[in-house]
Amino acid sequence: MQDAPIARIEHGDDPYRWLENRDTEEVLDYLKAENAFLDAQMAPQAELRERLFQEIKGRIRETDLSLPSPWGPWLYYRRTTAGDEYPRHYRCPRPADGSLTLDEQAEQLLLDPNELAGGGFLSIGTLSISQDHARLAYSLDTEGDEIYRLFVKELASGEVTELPFEQCDGSMTWANDHQTLFFGELDDTHRPHRILRHRLGEAGASEVYHDPDGRYFVSCYRSSSERQLVILSHSKTTSEAWVLPADAPTAAPVCLAPRQEDHEYFPDHGVWNGEPCWFIRTNQDGINYALYRASEGQPTREHWQPLVPHDPQVTLEDASLNRDALILSLRENGLPVIEVRPAQADRYRLALPDAAYSLHVSDTLEFDSPTIRVRYEALNRPAQIRQLELASGAQQVLKETPVEGPFDPDAYVSERLWATAPDGTRVPISLVARRETLGQPAPLYLYGYGAYGHSLDPWFSHGRLSLLDRGFVFAIAHVRGGGDLGEAWYRAGKLAHKRNTFTDFIACAEHLITEGYTRPERLAISGGSAGGLLIGAVLNMRPELFGAAIADVPFVDTLNTMLNPDLPLTVTEYDEWGDPNDPQVHARIRGYAPYENVTAQAYPPILAVAGYNDSRVQYWEAAKWVARLRATRTDDNLLLLKTELGAGHGGMSGRYQALKDAALEYAFLLKVFAMAD
């Protein structure tokens, strides 16, 4: 069997810093050696990996059609075809009867990503139709580094023009003249720092807005009413918005409220009592947000009027606007709630069948539509697109993601459990398993994230069925640092409170063991990006509690990254982790950073995955972490590093490659748990 690669050690505080020397022969040879070692170690599972891949693929409807979206005179939709990595984008004339029936004889191919990818990496940043439906603006990343090239396609002739701009963030927003595009530019640290305006046929672009503060990301979007453009500059804690009419793209933007530290607000434009007006979601009254409105002619902060008051028990996560209703996306008791406030009827909340689920407004359709669409799914229920009649509240399932082959959702049990953290806080756990699996200790896959206020609402997975049907339990730890129980839950797991994220996760693991769902040697843990930091931290703290770990693009070299302001995104992260140039913050991050805290102890089997072109979490974070683990640990458990040399933060881009990645992960777990199949 091939020996594991041994990384050379440099003298100094960071013995593996040389792995940061990107594109050098030494570094590439080391990463390729790690990939070869993984291939050699997993070679006995080659047949199993292929079987898992075919099994997962067999549950997915490879040739399928998305639910058409009506807009103006057209229906827009996507087709997936067996064998193709990417869906193709189409449109056809909209039927006069208001149905969603496609006229395939008259359909028009808008974009074929399979042709554009040429077998390599491809990510579409934006795909946007002009308001007159004559042009398609789209942006492409072909490296995985999230730097995009911009294109405009004339839909009548098929002529494609590449716009002559570099360092673009991929965003493209049309003005109502069908000629002017607003797009974002990246600075040297990969931060979207300014918005530029370009008129088709003219040379160059003019600056509309620039934010020199390294903490802020700048973006541009159209309002729900299609009448206004919004430029938003947003840090992790503060925002500032500038607006201008979509009909007047050269007008000077107006600031709605000058930035004030810790004031976050998000404007949209719609209709109230038949009059056009602004709606502003703001935390000026409290951390759970309130909703204000302002007239179109007087949108600045001194004219804001309260519409939905702050509620200390319920978080207002979003507000969707429609001509006939206001749709509130709320979070209450750890679950998403949609409340509809029709213009001509009483307010109501959507009734749903499961105890734990994911729910969000997926498509408000046209602003004047009497309906909206929501996406609903649960751990044991495939995603559904439901149409909601705003006036009556009637729901209709328009499309459910198919599961090919034998599948009965009632064969799986979904539960919501509560663990108790060391400080007495109750931490929710979402769990799914086959009915016959529960009642005795089983192999269990525990997933976590816990950062940026991101909520891990339960989701369905075709691939996960391959684990559940082999006797696994799957669970999600809704730890602090995420937004699962609202803004206060997020704040209790960031900055000086970050350690709560790790102790919450450990408490969830202990609860699952104590309650008989699993045993330590059968407990696999997994997380990606900031969730990889979580995995690295808890492995250092309690390695004996876990039987295996998977860390995907893990943010494990936390301290060194946060000390380097020249790296992409570092300065913007100070509001999440703290600025380690402050000695007190330095000591705090140093106390939990996974890379620095690797010690001479036994660790469970670990699979780490990195993307060489990743601009968010550099490839060397996983590489340095694995190198230090190899040199320091006291065990000889399987330790694997896979670096995708042609991909970025999201891994390889094609849908089949994603299934192969899942097959590798599952084969790794079956191998280390000594489960033959």
CA distances from 152 to 125, 176, 543, 577 (A): 13, 16, 52, 39
Which DSSP letter does residue 67 get? P
Half-sphere exposure of 599 (CA within 13 A, CB side): 12
* 530-541 helix and 499-514 helix, angle to the nearest 10 degrees: 70
Q: What is the pLDDT of residues 55-85, one digit of tens each?
A: 999 999 999 999 999 999 999 999 999 999 9
In this prediction, residue 653 carries a pLDDT of 65
pLDDT band with cut points at 50, 70 and 90 for residue 651: low
In this prediction, residue 617 carries a pLDDT of 92
CB distance 185 to 169 below 8 Å = yes
CB distance 282 to 292 below 8 Å = yes
Nearest of 169, 118, 165 to residue 148 by alpha carbon? 169
pLDDT band with cut points at 50, 70 and 90 for residue 654: confident
Phi, psi of 435 (to 5 degrees): -55, -40
pLDDT band with cut points at 50, 70 and 90 for residue 118: confident
The CA-based angle 470-471-475, given to 5 degrees, is: 115
Whose tokens are 């044991």? That residue is 380
**Is residue 12 helix, strand or coil?**
coil
- DSSP codes joined into one string, 170-191: EEEEE-TTSSEEEEEEE-TTS-
Question: If you average pLDDT over residues 207-222, what whole number do you get?
Answer: 97
In this prediction, residue 1 carries a pLDDT of 56
E strand or H helix that includes residue 6:
none
**Is residue 137 helix, strand or coil?**
strand
Parallel, antiparallel, or unpaired for β 135-141 and 254-255?
unpaired
Which DSSP letter does residue 252 get? P
Token digits for 366?
Answer: 């046209």
- DSSP codes joined into one string, 72-85: TTEEEEEEE-TT-S
In this prediction, residue 652 carries a pLDDT of 63
In this prediction, residue 97 carries a pLDDT of 92
In this prediction, residue 354 carries a pLDDT of 82
Amino acid (1-letter code) at residue 207: E
CB distance 330 to 310 below 8 Å = no
Q: What is the pLDDT of residues 224-260, one digit of tens each?
A: 999 999 999 999 999 999 999 999 999 999 999 999 9
Higher-pLDDT residue of 483 and 364 is 483
E strand or H helix that includes residue 511:
helix 499-514
- DSSP codes joined into one string, 436-449: TTTTS---EEEE--
The C-alpha atoms of residue 231 and residue 225 are separated, in whole angstroms, by 16
Whose tokens are 């493209």? That residue is 172
| pLDDT of 449 above 90 | yes
In this prediction, residue 632 carries a pLDDT of 97
Q: What is the pLDDT of residues 600-616, one digit of tens each?
A: 999 999 999 999 988 88
Token digits for 675?
Answer: 């489960």
Token digits for 389?
Answer: 């009649």
Q: What is the mean pLDDT of the chain?
A: 95
Instruction: List the 315-321 sheet strands across, edge first.
Output: 315-321, 325-332, 335-342, 348-349
The C-alpha atoms of residue 358 and residue 383 are separated, in whole angstroms, by 9
Torsion sign across C-alpha atoms 489, 490, 495, 500: positive
| pLDDT of 582 above 60 | yes
- DSSP codes joined into one string, 582-631: SHHHHHHHHHH-TTTT--SS----EEEEEETT-SSS-HHHHHHHHHHHHH
Nearest of 315, 399, 330 to residue 363 by alpha carbon? 399
Chain-centre distance for alpha carbon 262: 24
Q: Which residues pair with 111 in a beta bridge?
A: 89
Token digits for 537?
Answer: 């931290």
The residues annotated with a catalytic role in the active site are 529, 614, 649
In this prediction, residue 566 carries a pLDDT of 86
**Is residue 512 helix, strand or coil?**
helix
Q: What is the pLDDT of residues 547-578, one digit of tens each?
A: 999 999 999 999 999 999 988 778 999 999 99
Token digits for 668?
Answer: 């790794």
Higher-pLDDT residue of 207 and 363 is 207
Token digits for 380?
Answer: 């044991």
